[in-house]
Copies of this chain bind each other. A is one copy, B any other.
Amino acid sequence: MLAYGGGVGDVFKALADPTRRAILDELQERSGQTLFELISRLVSRHGLTSSRQAVSQHLEVLEAAGLVRTRREGRYKFHELDTAPLRAITDRWRL
């Protein structure tokens, strides 16, 4: 079975939230960030003030949609963007 369990709709639902889109923006600009790194940069660069749990739950959604991949090292968990599922959009309506 695959690394992510979501259907096609999960990608669209994941993109529906502005904080999650900002997270994708951030991960595109700087790949491999940890949770706390992301929180800090969301504040300083996007003007967002989200709690740790809020961001953590957003990352779960993004990971379930296959838009974020993670790798664990010790007590750190690094996140990186994966734009592959976004092809579902461009392919569907021939962009």
Residues of A within 8 A of B (CB): 9, 12-13, 15-16, 18, 21, 24-25, 28, 81, 83, 86-87, 89-90, 92-95
Contact = CB atoms under 8 A, between A and B. Distances in A.
A69 B11 CA distance: 25
Contacts of A90: 86, 89-90, 95
A16 B13 contact: yes
Copies in the complex: 2
A21 B12 contact: yes
Main secondary structure of the interface of A (DSSP, over half): helix
Contacts of A16: 9, 12-13, 15-16
29 contacts: A9-B16, A9-B18, A9-B21, A12-B12, A12-B15, A12-B16, A12-B21, A13-B16, A15-B15, A15-B16, A15-B89, A16-B16, A21-B92, A24-B93, A28-B93, A28-B94, A81-B93, A83-B93, A83-B94, A83-B95, A86-B89, A86-B90, A86-B93, A86-B95, A87-B95, A89-B89, A90-B90, A90-B95, A95-B95
